[in-house]
Structure 1
Amino acid sequence: MRTAYTALAFLPLALSAACGGAAEDAEAAPPPALSLDQAKGVFETYESADRKADTALDAAQLPAIATGSQLEMDTATYRMYKANGKKPDAQSFGEPVFYVPRIASGPRWFVVDTASRVRGVEVRHALLFVEEGGRWKLAADPQRRNATPIKGVELDGEGYAQVAQDGLQVSPAELPKAHADLLTQGPQAPGSEHLAAGQQTTQTYDVLQKVSKSLRKSGMTFTAAFTPAEQPAYALRTQDGGAVAWYALKQQETYKGKKIPVSSDLAGLLPGGRVARGNLTSTSLVQYLAAVPREGQVAVVGVNRKTVAAQSG
């Protein structure tokens, strides 16, 4: 797993209820995506392949183990490390907890809640794996710092989870658009009322407005727009009738000015030095973990961000 480049800061995970779950009728329930032992094997295989790819910084190995936003983010991260002449810090995961949902139809997926420690900082990962073309691949890695494991996921008597699709004030499928509209248009955007104020919602919007105002004083213009990424949202039911959800957004930033500073996050994505002239456009992907209550506002509790493309002229 590559070291993440996150937006702003992490929020502590706030999902209610203790771990455990109510038993279901195993005969009536749909089958799990895979067995718990198989999920453990998938995770161990991923760790080994990921470590090998990291050591070589070989992006050609990534499509076999990652997909969607994660593949784009990991590929861009490798390019950045190569451009800076560095390699990612060694990383290993500890005490994984597996959440495998029973799935009646559609793509198979599961979650691994685990932790890593890099340079003395503990980071919790909510790893989302999906099956694609007969292979299990990492699709998202929203993270939290110094956080406790995910709590309250509803488990049946055999230890399997349940997909959350309905019965919520806002469905997981509606979350990406609501979040994107809030970050682009502000807290008055339709659907924004479903999202609680916080660092990854209203505070991010406020920061972007301040950046735009500050750059105008320097003779530059700046705009930022968010849209849902081209991947579905996934959610697990919690014991209190809520859910914990995974989804991703695409962030497009545009700068115009005579001299535009180029951040280190764009290393490997743009030719030349640390200054662009005329205009600069960058595309970032942002993965989120959210606590969705049965009633009330959604709390965004985990995040992972990486700029994946840029161009200037």
Structure 2
Amino acid sequence: MTLTLTPSLTEPSELTIRPRYEGSNICTWIGFKHVNYLVEESVLNHLREGGLPPGAIYETYGLCTDIVDIDTRIVHALHIDDVVTATVRPHRRARDGELLFGVVLQVAREEGLVKAAMSTVRVQLRHDPRGGGDQPIPAVLHPHVVSQLGGAPGWDVEAPEVNLDTDDLIKQLTAGSNAFAWKWRMPYWYCHFTERVQMSGYLRLMEEVVDLFLEDRGVSIKTLLDEQNWIPVVPRSRITVLEEARMEEDLYTVFTVEEVFKDVTYTARMDTYVVRDGALVHTSTGTITHGYALIENRRDWSLVTFDDRMNAALAGTSA
């Protein structure tokens, strides 16, 4: 492979894309996970246009293209038939060991083209010696290459102190906090480049732990849908990869309610851990903000104020 970086790697790129049908879970609205999938696809397209196709640089240089941080704000709901214009711009604050991009998703509405979502995305090129025989990594890529995946600055990355000689790790991880925890063996379809959990896998984990948390607190999504015609909506989510998690490791996912804002939204933190070589390893962290909306008709909804049952569930008390 002859590597030719084009100006589009350092200048904006644009992609026209539709949401996946899988993401239309409630009425025709697209959930936060699939909004992030649109962001991911737009970044991958930007890399391809810039001369860094993920498949080719892996096959030639052993470089794995990994999204290690994705921070997304959703300001307008996307629907299944929408045609989305995604614009990707290189970010001026990129550091060594990463490629940093700003992404804007726009969609046509009656009032014109509106911003549906904005994201900041960090990408690392992780060298993988598996397979061998790859060509020397070009000098132009050296600043972006890492030997192990790691996250962005600004997070408290210290794992809590626990006793690994007991079998109550979930209880230890939630002790003294308004939290819910879940243990699950990482399947191969949450991984890529043969063995490591990828960002889309963490997005699926975040979606599932919210679902399990709400059921555990007695306010499952189906319960509120049946009884109050409420659905959860997400204005913001962020996930940062701190360390690598591997296929078939048991991942402990901890979901902690951090703040309820004016009875309209709540923000919770997701942390994931594996036990490796006799130590607890913090593999990812992130936050998600939820509100609730009343379904008005098949296309429209409006935000609601949390009632006593919802506030009690978020606080971990009885209504």
Sort the TM-score into its range (normalised by shorter chain).
under 0.3
TM-score normalised by structure 2 residue count: 0.26
Q: Quick one: higher RCO (CA 8 Å, sep 6+), 1 or 2? A: 1
TM-score normalised by structure 1 residue count: 0.27
Q: Which is richer in strand?
A: 2
